[in-house]
Amino acid sequence: MKKYLLIFLFFFYSTSFASIKENIIKNLNDINNLSFNFEQNINGKIEKGSCSLKYQKKIFCKYNLANNKIMVADGKNMVIKTESSYYLYPINKTPLNLILDKKFILDKIKISDEIVIENKFINYKFYQNDNEINVYFDKSTYDLVGWQTVDIYQNISITYLSSIRKNQKLKKELFLLPKQN
């Protein structure tokens, strides 16, 4: 009898994680874009704002800062602009290149083991080009709720998402790189 109970428990345990992974993959496959609020912590410096993300590799973020900071990626390049500064980067030189690549995330999830955190979140950890990337999903909704990367200055960057809205109508102009002042 104990043997059958152990087999059942093993099957149940394996099936529950398989279905979580399958549900995360299905949910992510069904998403073309996300709009959300964020809180970003880079070495203890916290910034907040809102973003719209469109697969593949496009994002627009407006920070809640007095200097009108925005970040825009058009699929190839990324600009971080404030009232007094303008920085242009090839997106493939940033960890966002991988975070904004839905195919990359899906492929990595398929071959990765998940870590359950406080029975609320599912974490997948990937290594790519000497970068460690952690993505976090809500265990009950299967939504992407955050990520952790190392930025181009070797700072740990943790981003939490909230008020997530899927597949909203977004204007193409949103992802046009802003001009330098």
47-82 pLDDT per residue, tens: 999 999 999 999 999 999 989 999 999 999 999 999
pTM: 0.85
Helix (H, G, I), strand (E, B) or coil at 106: helix
Q: Which residue has the tokens 């007095």?
A: 66
Residue 9 lies in a domain: yes
For 55, 79, 111, 121, 143, the CA distances from 30, given in Å and listed in that order, are 11, 28, 19, 20, 11
Rounded Cα gap, residues 104 and 96, in angstroms: 12
State whether residue 107 is helix, strand or coil: helix
Q: Which CATH number covers residue 121?
A: 2.50.20.10
Q: Is position 64 within any domain? A: no
Reported as a single tens digit per residue, the pLDDT across 93-120 is: 888 999 999 999 999 999 999 999 999 9
Q: What is the pLDDT of residues 110-146, one digit of tens each?
A: 999 999 999 999 999 998 877 889 999 999 999 999 9
Name residue, tokens 């925005």: 70
Token representation of residue 149: 């990367």
The residue segments making up the domain with residue 153 are 2-56+95-171
- Count of domains in the chain? 1
Using one digit for the tens of pLDDT, what is the confidence trace for 22-48? 999 999 999 999 999 999 998 889 999
Residue 63 lies in a domain: no
**Is the link from the previous residue into 128 a cis peptide, with omega within 30 of 0?**
no
